[in-house]
Structure 1
Amino acid sequence: MASDTATAAEDLKGLAAELAEAMPELRGRLRANVSMAEITWFRVGGPAEVLFTPADEADLVYFLKNAPEELPVTVVGVGSNLLVRDGGVRGVVVRLGRGFGSIEQLYEERIRCGTAVPDVRLAQAAAKAGIGRLAFYRGIPGSIGGALRMNAGAHGTETRDVLVEARAVDRRGQLHVLSVDDLGYGYRHCGAPPDFIFTQATFQGEAGLRDVIEKAMQEVADYREEHQPTKARTGGSTFKNPPGHSAWRLVDAAGCRGLRVGGAHVSEKHCNFLINDGEATAADIEGLGETIRERVRATSGVSLDWEIKRIGESAAPADGDGA
């Protein structure tokens, strides 16, 4: 393996060791059996069989071109809108890091960034450059990769309203440049193939005054602080808003405010947020979400769709718990 790799010898076990041996030019970091609870905001979930942090886009391309076709590959961001099940994730979990963290003003009101950049950092960089229309990212707790994948939005603006184009690498290691129209955006939906890993995005804002933009960003931050449980172990908005409805109102009307399953409960502050009290399992959180969906369906006839991404396998039942 190349001398600048960050992979520690003690981390190379099982599948990780096999991949390292098969890809001698890999520069990123491979780690075996990494707890996903440490990198998700819910702080729950089993281990990734292998966690891979590519050095940069070229390293990601090299990995995907050389990875066996049958190898499961899952992509995660900062872990804000993610629930990893207790049994962990088979195969390789790709998490983009510093090699995807650049931000560059191209000209006037256009800005480009890597997809590991937190949404809030993009908003701050745009404000500093006097670029308006991107202040809404101050209120989205995630990274740009996640924003692209789910057409993230807040306060009346969505990603599709400001995106020019995005770069992505597919499962075979092929690069793609996609216009906003290519992405087939809808409400919290992206039409890009699920195996595409976004690596870079270009945004178009508008001319603005830095102090005015920063004031708008502070208003967004204040709104979140007042209305959402920002200091709790949560995964953000749990369910998408159904057409013509507000998810939190449906949850509240179904009598689910404060509802508890194991160590998880529905936020009293905002009914579309689930909270880990500190002792919850992923099964507690997912079970609570499914209970809410059943009660909402029974009281309103509306089926709520998960906004939180759920990955991995359920834990095997303990002796005596199964059939």
Structure 2
Amino acid sequence: MTAQVATTGFRGKLTPDAPLAKLVWFKSGGAADWLFEPADADDLRDFLARLDGGLPIMALGLGSNLIIRDGGVPGVVIRLGKPFSKVKNRGDNVLECGGGASGILVSSTARDAGIAGLEFLRGIPGTVGGFVRMNGGAYGREVADVLIDCDVVLSDGTCRRLSAAELGYSYRHSNLPDGAVVISARFQGHPGDVAEIGAEMDRIAQARETSQPLRSKTGGSTFKNPAGHKAWALVDAAGCRGLTMGGAQVSEKHTNFLINTGTATSADIEGLGEEVRRRVSQSQGVDLEWEIKRVGRP
């Protein structure tokens, strides 16, 4: 049964029993009890304050690096749209970015302003809110290297500004509280040549296109790289390249990617990932940790 939420008194769009499969890269999974798309930051604060912490809250960006389980997501899913997707040059090689802005938009804006050091964001398939939360990274850099601070709305509707130090970053992890929604962040770059920045972004884009199954229904890197190892190499050595379960498959192109061949349920995808973990542990004695976030009811 969908939890009760007041349906008036705000300006954003509130949808009950909202299908989420179309909003995530894997194109699988169930519905959210409620999906809220706020009109702006004040609207989000007011909405969450009225909930008074009574329901689970989950932010949803581009839907990469995410498995929505087939039973759907309890509580409220917050999706930040156009009002949160702006990127502004604040001077001194600082960009202020909305929580819904994509990594491509952030890096492109930096390039056009002659700000170097943010090119790696071109290689992160997600939005600012997501990669600030998980300390997203690519090509030798991560968000912890460039984040100054971020503004978050907590599940009770209060707003806080948190410095990078307060987030306690480690590999693909932060101490951001559950239910907190990142609505903006500030990134520090340094002066650079526009042509050189563009060339580096092109190199990153080409490297991704060449090595990753970007044109498939996938979820990005499935497992974290264990210390001293590459996850893809461990998966390959365990004989899992091309392994299938239902409609899910370990990518032939890059073995740290799972793909939906067209008919996969989220249970297929998660089950295949667990089978890969089992085989890697059994054959090589390494316990892989999920990098993809798995949420919702089985």
TM-score range, shorter chain: over 0.9
> What aligned pairs does 1:231-246 form with structure 2 within 5 A after superposition?
231-246=215-230
Misfit runs of 4+, over 6 Å: none
Deviation at residue 245 of structure 1 after TM alignment: 1.0
Decide whether the 8 Å contact of 1:130 with 1:210 is kept in 2: yes
Please state whether the residue corresponding to 1:242 is helix, strand or coil: coil
Deviation at residue 29 of structure 1 after TM alignment: 0.6
Q: Which deviations, in whole Å up to 9, do the C-alpha atoms of 1:268-295 show, x marking residues without a partner?
A: 1100000100110000000000000100
- Structure 1 Cα separation of the partners of residues 165 and 275 of structure 2: 37
Listed as ranges, the gaps of 5+ residues in structure 1 are 1-12, 315-323
Deviation at residue 125 of structure 1 after TM alignment: 0.5
1:266 equivalent in alignment to 2:253: no
- Structure 1 Cα separation of the partners of residues 65 and 273 of structure 2: 14
Larger Rg: 1
Deviation at residue 14 of structure 1 after TM alignment: 6.3
Deviation at residue 136 of structure 1 after TM alignment: 0.5
> What aligned pairs does 1:175-186 form with structure 2 within 5 A after superposition?
175-186=159-170
Counterpart position of 2:22: 38
CA RMSD of aligned residues (A): 1.3
Q: Which deviations, in whole Å up to 9, do the C-alpha atoms of 1:116-158 show, x marking residues without a partner?
A: 0011110000000000000111111111111101101111111
Decide whether the 8 Å contact of 2:52 with 2:157 is kept in 1: no
- What code does the residue aligned with 1:43 have? K
TM norm structure 1: 0.90
- What code does the residue aligned with 1:162 have? V
- Corresponding residue to 1:191 among 156, 170, 175: 175
Counterpart position of 2:74: 90
Deviation at residue 68 of structure 1 after TM alignment: 4.3
Counterpart position of 1:254: 238
Please state whether the residue corresponding to 1:165 is helix, strand or coil: strand
- Structure 1 Cα separation of the partners of residues 57 and 178 of structure 2: 11
- Structure 1 Cα separation of the partners of residues 74 and 7 of structure 2: 17
Decide whether the 8 Å contact of 1:228 with 1:269 is kept in 2: yes
- Structure 2 Cα separation of the partners of residues 15 and 182 of structure 1: 33
Please state whether the residue corresponding to 1:94 is helix, strand or coil: strand
Decide whether the 8 Å contact of 1:32 with 1:49 is kept in 2: yes
- Structure 2 Cα separation of the partners of residues 15 and 193 of structure 1: 22
TM norm structure 2: 0.97
Counterpart position of 2:56: 72
Higher relative contact order (CA 8 A, sep 6+): 2
Listed as ranges, the gaps of 5+ residues in structure 2 are none
Counterpart position of 1:125: 109
- Corresponding residue to 1:294 among 278, 282, 294: 278
- Structure 1 Cα separation of the partners of residues 92 and 161 of structure 2: 22
- What code does the residue aligned with 2:6 have? L
Decide whether the 8 Å contact of 2:2 with 2:17 is kept in 1: no
Deviation at residue 75 of structure 1 after TM alignment: 1.5
Decide whether the 8 Å contact of 1:100 with 1:199 is kept in 2: yes
> What aligned pairs does 1:210-249 form with structure 2 within 5 A after superposition?
210-249=194-233
- What code does the residue aligned with 1:213 have? I
- What code does the residue aligned with 2:124 have? I
- Structure 2 Cα separation of the partners of residues 189 and 14 of structure 1: 31
Deviation at residue 195 of structure 1 after TM alignment: 2.5
- Structure 1 Cα separation of the partners of residues 78 and 84 of structure 2: 12
What number of residue pairs does the alignment pair up?
Answer: 298
Q: Provide closer, same or farther for how the CA distance between residues 14 and 290 of structure 1 changes in structure 2, counting only shifts above 3 A.
A: closer
Please state whether the residue corresponding to 1:226 is helix, strand or coil: helix
Q: Which deviations, in whole Å up to 9, do the C-alpha atoms of 1:208-266 show, x marking residues without a partner?
A: 11111000000000000111111010000000011111111110111100000000100
1:19 equivalent in alignment to 2:3: no
- Structure 1 Cα separation of the partners of residues 16 and 191 of structure 2: 47
Decide whether the 8 Å contact of 1:15 with 1:32 is kept in 2: no
- What code does the residue aligned with 2:167 have? L
Please state whether the residue corresponding to 2:100 is helix, strand or coil: coil
- What code does the residue aligned with 1:31 have? T
- Structure 2 Cα separation of the partners of residues 300 and 15 of structure 1: 45
